[in-house]
Chains A and B, each alone.
Chain A
């Protein structure tokens, strides 16, 4: 079986049903905003073009969320959601039918004629002239259900049923598209009750519903990855992880005393992003950027020598970890000033646009940078000129020592893209398929001349702001969540699921470790830069002594 899913209230009925029952059904995400459900391959499966749709192993396709849920309940259940006795099932079907007639139908017609009109007008029959009266009809329906609920916990009394799932999906949807529940106490109490169920959060759309009103706002595409791509990402990830571990051990042992911003927890986001780039594409990154530099291909010996301040370093020891530059790998600037890389990325991209060299520039930054002026100036300019740039926000939940919610009122960086006129994508950065899918799509879009994308890759900074810094301010539930999300075991599992052998993966890490050992030796063997370097590289010509 394969469940075709998308954003929207009907698909939510199916996902909420699955979350309630725990039934595991493989899913494929269909990007309805982009019109993927109107393409021939999808229409061949489901001529109505609706999501969700359930494809059975024999090729049969079941459409319509209630039919899917009932089918699954009969195949894999029964569960209380439909009911185990004929009377209970009849009660569920009666209430579901009422919800459908009273609320779902008028609300949907109203939505397609009003808030959803820009998206739906070229896809299905829309009736803008009927929108207002359909909205009031949906409100009448909600009033009837409010009266029906009265003191009941759920539509079928004390049993939570499929009818509640259907109503909940649409009541929540309505609240986000200009059809709020209004002052209906029983319905509101019921809604709050249902909202506390884990299945409510688990089935919420990855992007806010405003996506419908603003069609440029996109949901992340998942991408099934080839073995070569997976292996490539695995290599980059482990190179970052092992290098970071080496850095931490050098610092802990006292062999080294430099400021170092560990990238523990952000290995995979960067590996997947850079795997979507070409060698000659540009990146600009920040002081916490060793993962980006390694993933983009800066040789480890030059990198380590630079971090420890030696002549053999990428920048002759004059830049350090906060200013790694290596144009041969496309690493053009590493800045120590939060947000400053974004305007510069625009300039690199502008050069590519003028020259037609086909290069893409990626600007790497953290969630903290999303509140500095340079971010806003750069996003606007990039969208204005349709520059081939990808704004890659690695949202690690903390700007220095301040949690995201304590520095930003909105809950999401990606949605800011709407206000600049570019797509914004929020993605679980530690989900390799989602992360690589988002990266590939943004890079291809930029390369095709279709302009910038803002990717918000959710990840965790698994240590303090700089290595050795206290991070006891992180709450326990955040630490637990972070541990759960650790990209390294997660990626390892994906690799094993894809039939890579343990031995093969271990051999890759061994090879990386050997490279790091060699880099360590050559870096520490290199002398520090001499005093002449103070007169060099200030201007093209050396300054006289």
Chain B
């Protein structure tokens, strides 16, 4: 069995999509062959195959990148716009929020924006306050946006392919620390449906709902807690918004306990919405209040020790699970 890294998975998914559909193009800073195929090499080798008209190395102009992708999408192409680091989406916010997300609605369905915005981020590499944030909650709040992220290479490949084929704008969040993760190669034309969560680990006592890199933390914590006799189920949302509420509720209905975990700042994060929906829907069946675990309410610091302190640590995740187990009315 051959293995692929997440970088290879993303590269293959884009490659396969470009081979299958002339309308798929990639725009972004440094993505071309002359620039080395992207800062994280996700587009390596694609210019050689598809040419500079389809792999467009752009100026450092986030509004122009996303705007051009919106326009091309309106004309029926399937552009992938790369925003090198997630904090830079702030520069392109008008194009994403006021245009990509809303044009289908404001045009009464006459137009749509089949666009993928690829972006990467991650806490733990010492990039500091403007290169590390997980900002999915900003977009989850916007009707019309779809946000996905993968916790393993196989899902990355399948989600990327599905995102490119999706008829509405998708933000695809990559995590710098996950590029090297290896999975068994799921093969050609693999797809992971948008809007479908996966059960990353089955369990019966408590559900951890999470996505992206923190799925790995959740699995590790679940393994530790198993030794203590606590059976944890881990739901990997894969699509952050609109998320697979059915899968979340089914799991929590089974376990009666839930922890929502994300790398992003906990306050006003997506965890608040998910915890709230679980509580609204399953209040009578819950054995404990839903717990949340997430990043600290501060900018991401640079110093390594402080940066690790900033993250939702495994001890804190385990403690959140234990709180649900120990809860007494």
* A interface residue numbers (CB < 8 A to B): 282, 284, 313-319, 323, 325-327, 332-333, 335-337, 340, 342-354, 361, 373-374, 377-378, 380-381, 384-385, 536-540
Contacts and interface: CB of A to CB of B under 8 A. Distances in A.
B99 A347 contact: no
Interface stretch (B53-61, B201-209, B224-232, B262-270): B53-61
B250 interface: no
Interface stretch (B38-46, B63-71, B148-156): B63-71
Interface stretch (B105-113, B280-288, B296-304, B320-328): B105-113
A351 B77 contact: yes
Interface size class of B (residues with CB under 8 A): 35 or more
Contacts of B95: 340, 343-344
Interface in B130-170: 143-144, 146, 167-168
A369 to B, nearest CB: 13
Interface string B1-41: 00000000000000000000010010000000000000000
Nearest to B98: A337
Contact of A350 (B71, B94, B144): B71
Contact of B64 (A337, A374, A539): A374
B216 interface: no
18 contacts: A314-B107, A318-B105, A325-B111, A333-B99, A335-B99, A343-B66, A343-B71, A343-B95, A344-B70, A344-B95, A348-B71, A381-B58, A381-B64, A384-B59, A536-B109, A537-B105, A537-B109, A539-B242
Contacts of B111: 325, 327, 332-333
Interface of B: 22, 25, 53-54, 56, 58-59, 61-64, 66-77, 79, 94-95, 98-99, 103-112, 143-144, 146, 167-168, 242
B63 A377 contact: yes
A290 to B, nearest CB: 16
Given A350-B72, A377-B64, A539-B168, A319 B144 contact: no
A537 B74 contact: no
Contacts of B144: 538-539
A318 B106 contact: yes
Contacts, number: 148
Dominant secondary structure of chain B at its interface with chain A: mixed
Contacts of B168: 539-540
Contact of A349 (B71, B73, B109): B71
A340 B69 CA distance: 13
B104 A347 contact: no
A379 to B, nearest CB: 9
Contacts of B61: 377, 380-381
A335 B102 CA distance: 11
Nearest to A387: B68
Given A347-B79, A539-B168, A377 B71 contact: no
A429 to B, nearest CB: 25
